Amino acid sequence: MSANDATGGSSRVKYLIVAVVFPVVLAADLYTKHLAAEHLRPMLSNPVPEQRYVTVIDGFFRLKYTENPGAAWGLLRWLDDGVRTPLFVVVALAAIVFLLWFLWHSPPEKRLLPVALGFILAGAAGNLVDRLAGGTVVDFVDWYLT
């Protein structure tokens, strides 16, 4: 009897969890970025700086449309587009492959891990879609402290 038989096929459950979480979160990611582009991007042209974003929690959290050409926090944004975009596409694809490998090798009893990996994979895929479509990643959640 294999380990999978002993657990009643529970190793397949982790793939089912990712198969459910991933498309739902990816759709939510792409849709909220669409809404941000539609409703928040026009606010950037407002001459009053305080009217270029939507305050959710004053001094802490606001919605503000940005297009990030770099990696996290704009790292490497100075690279030429012809280098930066292919580099980030390769890095995103490598990250997705690594996450799938990690899922494959994860123990089936770790039930929250596939949920987390589904979220992370969807975020990576959503950013990859952005990067391929326009060379930037759409951001609109702005956490800050004043």
Q: What residues form DSSP beta bridges with 61?
A: 57, 143
How much is the pLDDT for 78? 86
| pLDDT tens, residue by residue, 108-145 | 888 899 999 999 999 999 999 999 999 999 999 999 99
Q: For residue 82, what are the CA distances in angstroms to 23, 86, 87, 88, 128?
A: 30, 7, 9, 11, 16
Q: Is the pLDDT reported for residue 68 higher than 70?
A: yes
Q: In the structure, what pLDDT confidence band is assigned to residue 9 with cuts at 50, 70 and 90? A: low
Mean pLDDT over 52-66 rounds to 95
How much is the pLDDT for 5? 44
How much is the pLDDT for 1? 42
The residues, any chain, with a CB within 8 Å of residue 145's CB and separated by 6 or more, are 59, 60
Q: Is the pLDDT reported for residue 8 higher than 60?
A: no
| pLDDT tens, residue by residue, 15-52 | 999 999 999 999 999 999 999 999 999 999 999 988 99
Query: What stretch of H or E contains 138?
Result: strand 137-143
- Residue 71 or residue 51, greater confidence: 51
Q: What residues form DSSP beta bridges with 142?
A: 62
Q: For residue 67, what are the CA distances in angstroms to 8, 78, 133, 136?
A: 46, 14, 12, 6
Tell which residue, 129, 120, 128, 91, has the closest CA to residue 17. Answer: 120
